Amino acid sequence: MKVTLLGTGTSQGVPVIGCNCEVCRSVDYRDNRLRVSVHLQVNGKSFIIDSGPDFRQQALRERIRTLDALIFTHEHKDHTAGLDDIRAYNFSQHKDMPLYGEERVLEQLKREFAYIFSGVQYPGIPRVDLNPIAEEPFEIEGVEFIPIRVKHYKLPVLGFRVGDFTYITDANFISEEEMDKVRGSKVIVLGALRKEPHISHFSLQEAIDVLTELKPEKAYLTHISHLMGLHHEVEQQLPDFIRLGYDGLQIQL
Ligand SMILES: [Zn+2]
Ligand SMILES: [Zn+2]
Ligand SMILES: [Zn+2]
């Protein structure tokens, strides 16, 4: 399995429009963060989790030639805004794009992208095939996804475990029962917004505490704000097995 971090930034991305802080001015490429998304290549199949506003740019940058399904963690705009651009795969693959998400998330997609779901199939609009998921494991093209239920303040969100890899972005609470589903993962990608506490995202220390309990071989943080600080400075303060993610980072499992 090969995992590529397509984006590692919080909802505004980094740099933030109009901001002149040292992170937003940084020339280190690792301080440039598109909105959060990940590409999984498993057994010759290609999956993306979340299609944020930077979806097109990410698919081009990583030369993602085929896409077998798009899976959603939750309905926030920084995770869904790029959905229209799956049209490219409709054209090249000559089929509807399978979308996977909780019922509530799929309903939100229907409202926000009403033209996709209207009875009038205007030529050229995205063609999708909706697949509701819940907390039970599901399979796509023979690959098993285990949903991990997490809380993003009050909003129930899903993370996913695929084999030895677990991906959790927007969260600030994981129950013991769900922690058990993650345990044993060799690599974990976990959201950590900034150093200061936040109402709906793990802070850096909270994420370190979760990962220290789970003890994967390697962990990467994602969904990072400009308030986290400079990539190279923050990394020096982390335990060895935890690194900050950055856009384009590839993980081989
Ligand atoms: Zn988010
Ligand atoms: Zn800034
Ligand atoms: Zn969110």
- The predicted-structure confidence for 113-138, as pLDDT tens digits, reads as follows 999 999 887 889 999 999 999 999 99
Positions in the chain short of pLDDT 70: none
Torsion of CA 30, 247, 226, 37, to 10 degrees: -170
Distance 127 CA to ligand 1 centre (A): 25
What confidence tens digit (pLDDT) does each residue in 199-219 have? Answer: 999 999 999 999 999 999 999
Distance 10 CA to ligand 2 centre (A): 12
Distance 26 CA to ligand 2 centre (A): 9
- The confidence score (pLDDT) of residue 122 equals 82
- The confidence score (pLDDT) of residue 213 equals 98
Q: How far is CA 193 from CA 67, 147, 167, 228, in A?
A: 29, 22, 15, 7
- The confidence score (pLDDT) of residue 76 equals 98
10 in Cβ contact with 23 (< 8 Å)? no
- The confidence score (pLDDT) of residue 146 equals 98
- The confidence score (pLDDT) of residue 120 equals 81
Q: Which of 144, 151, 169 is nearest to 159 (CA)?
A: 169
| Whether residue 126 has a cis bond before it, omega within 30° of 0 | no
Distance 108 CA to ligand 3 centre (A): 13
Distance CA 42, CA 164 (A): 12
Q: How far is CA 3 from CA 31, 50, 164, 191, 203, in A?
A: 20, 14, 11, 16, 24
Question: Would you list the DSSP string of 26-82?
Answer: ---GGG-BPBPEEEEEETTEEEEE---TTHHHHHHHTT----SEEE-S---HHHHTT
Distance 12 CA to ligand 2 centre (A): 10
Q: Which of 79, 72, 116 is nearest to 96 (CA)?
A: 116
- The confidence score (pLDDT) of residue 212 equals 98
- The confidence score (pLDDT) of residue 33 equals 98
pTM of this prediction?
0.97
